[in-house]
Structure 1
Amino acid sequence: MSATPEAWPRPYWQPSDETIVLHFYVFGRFADELAIPAARYASAGLPEGVQLQRFAHAALRDWEGYPLKGALGELLKEDAPAAFDLAHAAPDVLVVRGELADRDSLDYLRDTLGVLAGLLDVGGRAILDPQILTLFDPDAWRRHYLVPGGAPPRNHVLILRHPDEGEGRSHVRTRGLRKFGRPDLSLRHVPDAHAGQAGMLCERLAELQALGARFVEGQPMEVEGLPGELVAHPGGGRDDPQFNNTHVAFDWPV
């Protein structure tokens, strides 16, 4: 049976020149003739601009960008060893990737996730979301993404914390907002005691951006409990290894 698609609107959408980037690896064993039951998950199929490519896993293992080796491979193996073993042993790899112009709904994401869910039903054993550095087995992926009404934006974004310049300071940032055609977030010089607050703020700002909001240079933002305003400074680019994306920087007021 097919589910009826529901619109995934972006109520705060403001047009931008940013590009939406989708990128997933599906590891498994697939029939030669691939029939994907995407309609079961309220998907109209992959949106225009997003393609599915099929590879023999053995042919990818020596590729420079092969995600199951090197630093990323070690991270994935440590974080999800069972899913890593399933992915590593799979004979086939499907790569779902594409770039789209910014748009006023998230229907493109609904449709892509529906295709990925369908691939799990026809032989998929693990899905890698490299934009959030996470490898899922089928059950974990369904719990994370197949949420009634659509998974919340937080599920699509990784929030990270690193030591920053200055004793007792942290850098709190995101990865993954390219899925929404929006820059990632960077909160610098956060006192360690406020790191939890900064993480929650990143979550709220990521949701606003996923639903279409944008920040412009010099835009002030008042946050309850802070001694001063946060001021937005967009910048960066896809070649920045911390984000693989543009980002909006905010300096934590002191």
Structure 2
Amino acid sequence: MTETSPAWPRPYWTPGDEKAVLVFYVFGKFDAELVIPSMRYQSPGLPQGIEIQRFQNAVLRQWDGYPLQSALGEILHTENPEVAQQARIAPEVLVVRGEIDDRNSLDYLHDTLGVLAGLLDVGGTSILDPQILSLFSADQWRQRYLVPGGAPPRNHVLILCNADETPDRSWVRTRGMRKFGRPDLSVRNVPESELDRAGSMCERLMEFLSMGGHFRAGQELAVDGLSTDMVAEPGGSADDPQFNNTYVAFHWPD
């Protein structure tokens, strides 16, 4: 694998100062000497900038940011109670995390996923992806990410829908685009009849951004079926609790 022939190229990439952020928790029981069979998944190992830290689960539970507690823990337990309980009683946790400079391929993600798959083969029982508020059993994770040609961007990102400030309108937004070093998406003022269209639009925009694209402030976006273009409005920061990321906002026309 070389820079001239990447496994996962980014055809829309142009240089930028963004950084991709990866964070995963792997729960299970592992040998004292950790040997990860990542080459089984065509991964040479973790890319530079991403590291593994090993913790006893009982020790990590004392940390204020322990992900199986607080609001996130409640979400995970509600959505996947058996897997959440299994993760809570797992003896160990491997935390895989770090930052990657923006680049012309997603090979850093490809290689990291290969390491995660290898960890499931040597004692991992579940994987938490806090950026998309999701906890997967080993089988669930393999089904979602170990697919021919690689899982599409939609599998790496969460699309949320909530009531907006305007009555009978919804707010559609994403979480998880930090994995690609790109802003999340925020679409306000969506009528109920247009939710499917807004969701499909977000999927297309996620694809564009994950493949290296950018939106500039004031850029107009034409959407099939809408008489008025939407306008990109960048904003947010990593401290924004709704995204933990910057975002590009769009307002659905009235």
TM range (shorter): over 0.9
* 1:161 maps to 2:157: no
Name the aligned partner's letter for residue 135 of structure 1. Answer: L
The CA distance in 1 between the partners of 2:246 and 2:235, in whole Å, is 6
Counterpart contact for 1:25–1:94, Cα < 8 Å: yes
The CA distance in 2 between the partners of 1:252 and 1:227, in whole Å, is 11
The CA distance in 1 between the partners of 2:206 and 2:62, in whole Å, is 36
Name the aligned partner's letter for residue 193 of structure 2. Answer: A
Name the aligned partner's letter for residue 41 of structure 2. Answer: Y
Which residue is equivalent to 1:150? Answer: 150
Which residue is equivalent to 2:121? Answer: 121
SS of 1:162's partner is strand
* 1:1-254 matches, cutoff 5 A: 7-254=7-254
Provide Cα deviations, 1:228-253, integer angstroms capped at 9, x if missing partner: 00110111100000000000000111
Name the aligned partner's letter for residue 201 of structure 2. Answer: L
The CA distance in 1 between the partners of 2:225 and 2:16, in whole Å, is 31
The CA distance in 2 between the partners of 1:36 and 1:205, in whole Å, is 35
Per-residue deviation at 1:115?
A: 0.1
Name the aligned partner's letter for residue 105 of structure 2. Answer: S
SS of 2:94's partner is strand
Per-residue deviation at 1:165?
A: 1.5
Provide Cα deviations, 1:1-51, integer angstroms capped at 9, x if missing partner: xxxx96110011122211100000000000000000000001010000000
Counterpart contact for 2:6–2:105, Cα < 8 Å: no
The CA distance in 1 between the partners of 2:15 and 2:150, in whole Å, is 22
SS of 2:71's partner is helix
The CA distance in 2 between the partners of 1:145 and 1:7, in whole Å, is 15
SS of 1:173's partner is strand
TM-score by length of 1: 0.97
The CA distance in 2 between the partners of 1:165 and 1:244, in whole Å, is 21
Unaligned runs of 5+ residues in structure 1 are: none
Which runs of 4 or more aligned residues in structure 1 lie more than 3 Å from their structure 2 counterparts after TM superposition? none
Name the aligned partner's letter for residue 176 of structure 2. Answer: G
Name the aligned partner's letter for residue 61 of structure 2. Answer: R
SS of 2:44's partner is coil
TM-score by length of 2: 0.97
Per-residue deviation at 1:89?
A: 1.2
The CA distance in 2 between the partners of 1:95 and 1:117, in whole Å, is 14
The CA distance in 1 between the partners of 2:61 and 2:119, in whole Å, is 22
Unaligned runs of 5+ residues in structure 2 are: none
Counterpart contact for 1:20–1:100, Cα < 8 Å: yes
Name the aligned partner's letter for residue 88 of structure 1. Answer: R
- RMSD value, Cα: 1.0
The CA distance in 2 between the partners of 1:59 and 1:72, in whole Å, is 19
SS of 2:128's partner is strand
The CA distance in 2 between the partners of 1:14 and 1:147, in whole Å, is 27
Counterpart contact for 1:6–1:42, Cα < 8 Å: no
The CA distance in 1 between the partners of 2:231 and 2:16, in whole Å, is 20
Pairs aligned (count): 250
